[in-house]
Each structure stands twice: as C-alpha cells, then as structure tokens.
Structure 1
C-alpha cells in the first residue's frame, strides 16, 4: 500500500523527513502566511499526527498547505455530549487521532449520524491543535457501509500526495527559472479551489462565503442572491458542495455555512 518510496516521507508510513525537505517546507510556510489556501485533501491518520506544524497552525504535505482533510478509519472510545461528540479515529498507519464533531442540540434527534465504536466512518474537517495536541475539528462524519470505500480512500491518499509532490516540484522549477513565486502560489491555490467546480458551484460558494451570519445562509436566501440559477440547480449544487466538504448544514438542513470561514 505504501510501497512507493518517492512518497514515503510524507505518506505517514513512518519515514523521517530529511533536512532538505524541512527547509523546503519552511520556505513554503513563509509564503503560505500571505495567502489563503482552500483545498480538500485525502489523508491518513499518521499524516495528520506527524505533518501538522504547530508554529504556523497548518498541515503541510510535501511543503504544500492543506486547508481541509478527509480521512477514513475505525471509531474508538466515543464520548458524546449535548453539543459535541469526541472520538478516536484509527487506521492502519499508526496510533489514532482525536476527532471533535460539534452539533447543535436541536439537531441531535434529527439526521446527525450516530457514531458507534468499532465502526468505520469518513470524516471531513480541519486539522487543529490545542495545547500541543493535534486533533480534527469535523464538520461532517459519514458512516461507511461499503467497505470498498476504505480501499478507495487509500488510493486517494496516494494520488493526492502525488499531486502535492508535483506542485512542490513545479514551485522549485519556477524558482530556478526566476518565475514570480507569488503568482505560482496563486495558481496552486486557485487550481485547488476550482478543480472539478462548475461556474454555478463557484458562484454559490462565493455567495455563502460573503454572509456574516454564524448560521450561514438559507436556501431561500441563496436563491434570492443568485437569481440567474434555477432553484433546482442550486439545491443540486449545494448537495454536491456539501458532499465534497466545502459547506455544511448548521441550524437545520436548509442553512449552509462555508468550511472556509
């Protein structure tokens, strides 16, 4: 599964990063502070635990900043409270990582999936740390019923790692040729946002990002703000964006908030 040596140092397979890798990551982190990256990357638990940089409060893979992650694993030691659930997520790459899933009290009895020990789930969220402890702040937890999805996730981790490695090499090549690094960073950031997005997706996401309301925007408000799109199209694209981890529901199933705010 992790036999490709070219990616082993960042794959979470236990390899120690070389000084050359660390130096490259530091260069990228300095420039990362000047831009806002928005992407969704498939990762392993070990990558989360080992590649998060506390100083910059950012997960880096191949010196590239990662905004949001999706990770698959088995649930251990669940602790459910009124407004949140905390559990340990573990996969085959090593010790588990803590996941915190915040919910609202009036949603606990609706369609929030129950988190059961020894079951497999897919988590969408952001990697954060508190007092040096790395954890995942989840905005979506989906029970896995088809175990082929576990194998698929392993392949996605390898693929995404290769994509980020290629982005890193492209940056190095642009630096060697004297290309403006800030423009290169903008290209990477834009590509990760718009890859696979339709114009409708981008328009909807931009609209939701603009709202200052903590509960996000209702479908009705989104439709009023984007009169150029039919209601049926907006609803379909909202479902797509939610499944991809770019937005999530808040006070009810009709209100959406961006994961980037």
Structure 2
C-alpha cells in the first residue's frame, strides 16, 4: 500500500528501504491516476490508493512507437498497477516504475488490498500453519477444521522447539524464542525488531546477542545488525 511506502525508512541514503522490520526491494501498488505529467524523457503519474499518494515516474523512450503507444493509453481517473523501486530525490520519494499497466478487472484492486494485508500480518505474526503441520490434531486428520488459538500466534512453535533454549538466561531465551517465531528470511532479523519485541536495555540486548553468538545460537547475516538462528 502507498501508505506503507510513505512510512518506509532508510538508515542512510544508500541503505535498503525498510517497512517496519522488513527490507523491501521491488514494490507493486494498484492505485487511481490523479494527474499525468508528460515530459521529454519521462512521464509522472500522481497516484492514490486510499492510503496515500505518491508519484510514479516512468522513463519513456520517445523513439520507440510501441513504448509510447503502450503508456499513452493510460488516462487520468483510470486504475493502474505500478511495479518498480522506491527512490528518493530532493527529499521527495517516488516509485521508479519499470512497468505500468492499466487495471482491467476491478477485483484486482480488492485482491491487492487483501494481499498487502496478508503479507503484513505474516511479517508481524508469522505464517499460518500448513495443514500438514496440524497432522497430529484428530480434527485435522479427519479433514475437519482446527479451532483454537489464532493461526497467527506462535502456536507452531511447539515445546520441543523451544526446549533447547530453556536453560538460557531470561533475556537470551526471549530473544531466541522471538527469532524462532518469525518467518524464515535469508537476511535474518534486524536488531531493532528484536529490541522492540523483547524490551529491555539496548546494551543488555546487545550483550545478550553477543553471548548467543559466542555460544553458537545465532550468527550475523547481511550486516552486523541482522541475526539468524543457527538451529
């Protein structure tokens, strides 16, 4: 959603954009075109999806008739899907659009909204358990629905998964269990997300992570601020 892109942050101008604790690369939005500004080398679409407004800037090859015809079919008031990267220029963020196309089915806007909500919840609470994960539940074996705690709680982290951390000091244990509850990600989990979840003094959290690394429970990934469980 555009509102999420407007709230995205960067540690510095060359850093990856972050939404909450998740790094973002390519983005896609479905929005209504408010205004169109054609320029010599690019076309700027001012778009709104109800959560916010942002510019989508597409660089056009005027010598390419097929390219000009494709983008020329987009009009103000139409809904479009934009795909590209989030950029910043002159303290103003915009989408550097690599692809834009008109939305021909109004259900696509509803689908995109639900998809954004689903992905956000997965990053916050982890993915819901798969049917195979609930195989030990008699109701699941019988093909019925499984009721009880929300699928977005940490119920998938069984006692056997957390027993290996039971002997750790409280802060280290909370850190390990929080990391275990998050969906797998190659880049690991940012220290800011860990701090917000477990609470406590920043120095104590840093020392706890250092100790977990020394003992082989966690390791750093893309930089010194991202951590991943070893087991």
Shorter-chain TM-score category?
0.5 to 0.7
Q: Secondary structure at the match of 1:159?
A: helix
Q: What runs of 5+ residues in structure 2 fail to find an aligned partner?
A: 127-178, 183-188, 199-208
Q: Secondary structure at the match of 1:135?
A: strand
Aligned positions of 1:113-124 closer than 5 A: 113-114=71-72, 115-124=74-83
Matched residue, 1:151: 110
Q: What runs of 5+ residues in structure 1 fail to find an aligned partner?
A: 1-43, 188-261
Instruction: Report which structure shows greater RCO (CA 8 Å, sep ≥6).
Output: 1
- Map Cα deviations across residues 5-49 of structure 1 (whole Å, 9 max, x no partner): xxxxxxxxxxxxxxxxxxxxxxxxxxxxxxxxxxxxxxx111111
Matched residue, 2:26: 68
Deviation (angstroms), 1:104: 1.2
Distance 1:129 1:61 in 2: 15
Matched residues, number: 144
TM-score after normalising by structure 1: 0.48
Correspondent of 2:63 among 106, 110, 113: 106
Contact 1:52 1:127 in 2 (8 A): no
Correspondent of 1:130 among 64, 89, 92: 89
Distance 2:97 2:46 in 1: 12
Residue 166 and residue 108 in structure 1: after superposition, are their counterparts in 2 closer, same or farther (change >3 A)? Answer: farther
Residue 108 and residue 88 in structure 1: after superposition, are their counterparts in 2 closer, same or farther (change >3 A)? Answer: farther
- Map Cα deviations across residues 124-143 of structure 1 (whole Å, 9 max, x no partner): 01001011101110000010
Residue 161 and residue 106 in structure 1: after superposition, are their counterparts in 2 closer, same or farther (change >3 A)? Answer: same
- Map Cα deviations across residues 196-243 of structure 1 (whole Å, 9 max, x no partner): xxxxxxxxxxxxxxxxxxxxxxxxxxxxxxxxxxxxxxxxxxxxxxxx
Deviates more, 1:66-75 or 1:153-162: 153-162
Q: CA RMSD in A?
A: 3.1
Deviation (angstroms), 1:180: 1.0
Residue 98 and residue 54 in structure 1: after superposition, are their counterparts in 2 closer, same or farther (change >3 A)? Answer: farther
Correspondent of 1:162 among 111, 121, 135: 121
Which structure has the greater CA radius of gyration?
2
